[in-house]
Structure 1
């Protein structure tokens, strides 16, 4: 049983606290630290949990540190935990800057400790429903729209929302980035609130992403297009759909799926529409349990520190492209 301590008990920190307790076969929650004494006292009373006096004291008492604090604090806390010999779960984004992230990657590689980054959408049941299906997308389209919430506007929508999809798309494309183009607008805050980015990969795949935190409705959808299939992933409503083209007598056709025939230049084909089962999961609990499994099995975390670095690196490439494009627009 791994002893885990929680750093930060704000809105998301409290959710982590509850999820750690649900993951009782993986962890023993030994306590928490919060920089706000009033919040610390309130959480200690409500959850009957020990409030430690400093991050150092908490880190010394556990095997794993769960860091759910503002992004600006991630670098110092992750570094402190790693140098103390502790495994780490840290919320996304990994750090505020690429320089900080690079140093943490180096420390992680040197120590051999496990670091998992909280890109929780990797554990969304709609994405998990893809299972072992062979994916080789040529074109990826992602929309992540949210109604306005003042919480999170201290950073651009790229680091606030789009970074979720950047992590997923990097995983799906499975290729290095070749070129990035982007534009964005600050509507209600001092940083971009809506951004569109086009990412071209070395393998020829292209991704087009839009993220907005100033929308009339919420949407979190990813669409994949490849030679034999169109795949729709609704991360908000937890639905996944495969639409594939088959020869009429193809033995792999699923008789349980919806089908229709069409005339093509290559003769009659069958359009097969399948909706795989999407099993409800507690995504945060699942990502925390996956870190425990990687520690116990000495395997690579599901969302490694390298994954977190790549997503952050791409986010900064998009930010730079937004700035370059904005400079071209006459005021």
Structure 2
């Protein structure tokens, strides 16, 4: 159950954020750098990424734990993959502070700002906090998230001051990471610069365990069919009574590119798994139509779901940009959004 942060907590968060604003960290830290904090009060590290150096877009992005670092790495390397920017943006869990125009700040955030009577430098530099969780529409941070931000910002302020005062030598181009770690044995903070963690976002890989099903799939005749499979976020919020905040529907789509036919297209709920969606479609298709010749995909969930089973069934699973799927997906999402708007 979601619990809203008190005005007292919001006041403290805005005070810390304004300290960060006054320090102008984008003058000292580039978007390729990271700041990792292991605080006195929390077990898992947080990773902070700051944008604004050389650009008007300023933000402070917080990722939690090593799983959060995987989200950061996926976002930072999106240009090296075939995943769309929209998919990667919504597939991550991140707490972000934006410097925004007053007119673009959400009504919920405006209400808090008005109640606290927070003052900003000008109408174009209002501060807004956004919680982004995969499968949910971006929303106002809850109580626990606000507490996490306060704790992280208090330590971030110390890091920025150290960089500003040249107590830390940071390479702005090599993507170095500043580590600030609390040592419980000595009761002291350690701060140093080192390489970023050497890891990528992890996606599970599954195997079929039912011997009868594996044999049944292997014995199906093989056709010349070539399929495309993908996941794509809807791009609009949807209300679901099972959740206390708007969801962001994730669409699974399968297309027979040989026949130019959409075979499957539906939106998953936040509790539906990508692995199950892809694998269940594969099994149902093969049982009905036989083993396809090839599947093209760009999404890592597809490969995690199907790599082993495709090898078992001698189906070629190919990494491909599948740009031909983009127009189909956009058309389906436009129609779904129109239907949702008519139903309101």
Question: Could you tell me the TM-score, scaled by structure 1's length?
Answer: 0.23
Question: Could you tell me the TM-score, scaled by structure 2's length?
Answer: 0.22
Compare the two structures and name the one with the higher strand fraction.
Answer: 1
Higher RCO, 1 or 2 (CA under 8 Å, sep at least 6)? Answer: 1
